[in-house]
Amino acid sequence: MVEIFHNIGILAHVDSGKTTLTEQLLFHTGAIRKAGSVDAGTAATDSLAVEKQRGISVRTATAATKWKDTTINIIDTPGHIDFAGEVERALSALDYAVIIVSAVEGVRAHTENILKLLDKAKLPRLIFINKVDRAGSDISRVTDEIQNISSGPLFVMTSTKGEGTDKCEVTALSEEAFIVRATEVLSDISDEAADAFLEDRLLEKDTAERILREKISECRLTPVVTGSAKYSVGIKELIDILVKFMPDSRRRATDTLSGIVFKIEHDKSAGKISYIRLFGGEINTRDEIELTAPDNKHIIVSDAVDIEDKRCIKEKVSQIKKFCAAKSTDAVAVKSGDIAAIYGLSSAKNGFYIGSSINTENLSLVNPFLRVKVTSADSDSMKLPSLAAALSELSDEEPYIDAKWSKGQKEITISTTGKIQLEILSNLLKERYNLEAIFSPPTVIYKETPSKAGIGHASYTMPKPCWAVVEFKIEPMPRGYGVSYHGKLPNDQCFYRYQSHIRTSFTRCLEQGLYGWEVTDFRCTLTGGEHHTIHTHPLDFFVCTPMAFMNGLTVTGTTILEPLLKIRVTAPEDYSGKIFSEIIKMGGEFDTPVSRSGNTNIEAIVPVAASMSFPEKLASITSGKAVLSQNFYDYRECKDTVKHINQRIGVNPLDRSKWILYARGAYNAE
């Protein structure tokens, strides 16, 4: 008998009750004897000291339980936008998501972004409207808000009595109410249900349940359950609906060994721990498995030679741990559909495939727009290597940190999404590595894009033995396009293996353009290339490609792009004038405000550079009565280029002589 798994992600805006719901799911399925409390620091899935101290989740936590004949793996994700990278990576392991929305506050900006991402990932979801016991709860209004941003109809599968009071009750729909609602809701997305609706007859119960399961699995309908996680209301109803109607691990099953690494941790004694989701096959302790790095999903590739150097890494599994509640226990194997922690995979990184690769979308919730310098708290430069090593390990766990260590300049820099993330990093450095760090004031991460179309060319034929010629056509594209790479030359003109080297080298060229920023929003086509059967060395195209690309940028010129934030402010109406004044000072653009119950809701687009002190100013001008949420929005052209030139790291390929020496290992740039 095939074991059935449900791999669930609990997703929501911060303070919506994710960890509380996870505790209730574990308690009601018998995995733990008592539901823990976030406020008391007793939640089973908040394992880090900083999580218990602050009462927020900063890392995904995996727990497991059993309900009837089904194993349920629960991934509790952080809700704060600064840790959205954890959410992004968890999606690859899920069968579906449970999204929590407060019945009082309603849909928040982060929740809206999550729903868009789930649409892109084609991942089924269920909405849990939480906190229906609180004063101000408005299930009808919140349901309308969710419907307005959902791609398909909602199906509310519970009824609520005593909403907004501590005596509220939630029950599953009666059989009659379920059939009536199913016939009506499904008629918009099912021919079978539409026929029944038009003929003024009701679907049979079994038929309604079958169609409902199908449409949920196809992401054409979203079920909704109401409740209060804090007071254990609606939890049993939620569990029954999850197991009965949501898709299980068989939806994503494969015939061959196939899996993905979705989380990395480090243990002082055991080394690297890789959290994996297995889609097919089985892994046993001491098995040798193949790991493969994913393609760069930020680059669209068509009509080009495949990358040749995507070699598989073979490593032996030394230990397997599976989850029981929020704890892990030794296991001899992990089966298809399950989640486990694997030890011994020293080369594994987030996103690596195990065995056969799987199709995954480029899912992005995170776009770090700030960078800071990191120094030792006691200004001891001798501690910088240790600090760099620690941040490198933390970057392995959270790639968006992107720690860079320049030995020559004795400088460490990291990317960040905000103040909270830096505070957590500081705590982790002290707790895990006994290192105290100081972060500089953040600077904005700009980007650059080609200003016009142009041709880039480079010829590397001296000093022999060497021979490589590369030519690119570079064309600017609209904002948000990203980067695409095209072009495949005849093999006798340029061997395919060398074209593979060109493509690999091209991806590395994007990190620094003319002004030292990442280059984006353009199309690159390989229009020319040439090898020599005697003189060409395998390294030659890695030397030549950056010179050709940078030559192309000197022809096209580049325009600097600045990041923008979308902010949402809810405040008493009396403060709206002062808030608008601050937005105008920042050079922001705002929509018509919406007033409700004495509060004003304001949405605006503002430059990151001008808005870094806005949270403090907002708190000051509203006496702390405003609620602010902000998310990355987009990039736009920046008028003042001179102010935003970034110091290049390493040797510039435009300095031809020095670059060739550097690329051949004859010159140290540090």
pLDDT by residue (tens digit) across 192-245?
999 999 999 999 999 999 999 999 999 999 999 999 999 999 999 999 999 999
- As a whole number of angstroms, the distance between CA 36 and CA 34 comes to 6
Count of residues making up the chain: 670
Same domain, 18 and 117: yes
CATH of residue 296: 2.40.30.10
pLDDT by residue (tens digit) across 237-268?
999 999 999 999 999 988 899 999 999 999 98
Domain end among 252, 274, 301: 252
Q: 590 lies in a domain? A: yes
CATH of residue 383: 3.30.70.870
Same domain, 36 and 119: yes
CATH of residue 510: 3.30.230.10
CATH of residue 129: 3.40.50.300
Same domain, 407 and 492: no
Which of 223-232, 416-425, 563-572 is modeled with the greatest confidence?
Answer: 223-232
Cα Rg of the chain, angstroms: 27
Same domain, 112 and 31: yes
pLDDT by residue (tens digit) across 56-81?
778 899 999 999 889 999 999 988 88
Q: 530 lies in a domain? A: yes
- As a whole number of angstroms, the distance between CA 415 and CA 404 comes to 9
Q: 518 lies in a domain? A: yes
Among 596, 328, 554, 334, which residue's Cα sits nearest to residue 458? 554
Per-residue confidence (pLDDT) for residue 66, from 0 to 100: 92
Q: 213 lies in a domain? A: no
Domain end among 305, 324, 355: 355
Same domain, 337 and 386: no
Q: 61 lies in a domain? A: yes
**Total domain count, the chain:** 5
Same domain, 426 and 484: no
Q: Where does 185-257 show beta strands of DSSP type E?
A: 222-226
Position 422 confidence tier, pLDDT thresholds 50, 70, 90? very high
What's the mean per-residue pLDDT of the chain? 91
Q: Are 313 and 347 in contact (CB under 8 A)?
A: yes
Same domain, 155 and 271: no
Residue 90 CA, chain-centre distance (Å), reads 8
Per-residue confidence (pLDDT) for residue 363, from 0 to 100: 67
**pLDDT for 309 beyond 60:** no
Task: Output DSSP code: residue 665.
Answer: T
Q: 387 lies in a domain? A: yes
Q: Are 268 and 358 in contact (CB under 8 A)?
A: no
Q: What range defines the domain where residue 315 resides?
A: 258-355
Position 394 confidence tier, pLDDT thresholds 50, 70, 90? very high
- As a whole number of angstroms, the distance between CA 78 and CA 81 comes to 8
Domain end among 440, 466, 494: 440
Q: 287 lies in a domain? A: yes
CATH of residue 570: 3.30.70.240
Same domain, 653 and 515: yes
Same domain, 531 and 403: no
Same domain, 412 and 452: no
Phi, psi dihedrals of residue 127, rounded to the nearest 5°: -100, 125
Tell me the average pLDDT across 296-321. Answer: 76
The residue with greater pLDDT, 666 or 169, is 169
Per-residue confidence (pLDDT) for residue 381, from 0 to 100: 79
Three-state SS for 394? helix
Q: 185 lies in a domain? A: no
pLDDT by residue (tens digit) across 497-507?
999 999 999 99
Same domain, 30 and 81: yes
- As a whole number of angstroms, the distance between CA 641 and CA 559 comes to 8
Same domain, 13 and 92: yes
Which of 243-247, 379-383, 636-640 is modeled with the greatest confidence?
Answer: 243-247
